[in-house]
Amino acid sequence: MTIQNREEIIRALFAAYLSNDRDAVEDRFTDDFRFTSPYDDGIDKPTYFERCWRLSDWIERQQLEKIFVAGDEAFVTYKCVAKDGKNFRNTEFFVFSGDKIKRIDVYFGASYQNGVFVKQGRT
């Protein structure tokens, strides 16, 4: 699997999120997929879809700013803009198994509302 193939898989995954194509997203993940974020610690594929899947009609647009692939791993930094003016910038770490995504770890960035920084509460 080449770097270009992995970049294409990542781009297709983000396009599937934006078009709310859950089947395409599920198909990209291995059966033993794990997801970690500031709210989730290594949750499995069924739990990910229970907790994290939501309709994408709240997103106005997304921009993949950087994709860096090295072997079976990749980092992606992206910006999402919501229809209500909120936006955020995150980085995700991907681990691949062949042509499937085995793990995603999400690192949250700053949030903004109509161009103004929104301070997030500490937990």
In this structure, what CATH number is given to the domain that contains residue 111? 3.10.450.50
Average pLDDT along the chain: 91
pTM score over 0.75: yes
> How is residue 100 written in tokens?
């499937």
In a domain, 17, yes or no: yes
Report, as an integer, the average pLDDT of 79-85.
87
90-101: average pLDDT: 97
Residue 83 falls within a domain, yes or no?
yes
What is the C-alpha separation between 109 and 3, in angstroms, rounded? 25
User: Residue type for 25, please?
Assistant: V
The mean pLDDT of 89-108, rounded to a whole number, is: 97
Q: DSSP per residue over 87-98, as a string?
A: EEEEEEEEEEET
For residue 56, the model assigns a pLDDT of: 63
Q: Which two tokens stand for residue 103?
A: 């793990």
Residue 82 within a domain: yes
Local structure of 46: helix, strand or coil: helix
Whether the per-residue pLDDT at 114 is higher than 90: the answer is no
Residue 12 gets the label, from left (phi > 0), alpha (psi -120 to 50) or beta, of alpha
Amino acid at 99: D
Domain limits at 98? 3-118
**For residue 1, pLDDT beyond 90:** no
In a domain, 123, yes or no: no
pLDDT for the residue 7: 97
pLDDT on residue 123? 47
Q: Residue 6's beta-bridge partner residues?
A: none
Q: Which amino acid is at 43?
A: I
Total domains in the chain come to 1
| Paired strand residues for 103 | 34, 95
Whether 57 is in a domain gets the answer yes
Place of tokens 């999402």: 80
50-72, pLDDT tens digit by residue? 988 876 678 889 999 999 999 99
Q: Which two tokens stand for residue 18?
A: 């934006």
| Reported confidence tier of residue 118, pLDDT bands at 50, 70, 90 | confident
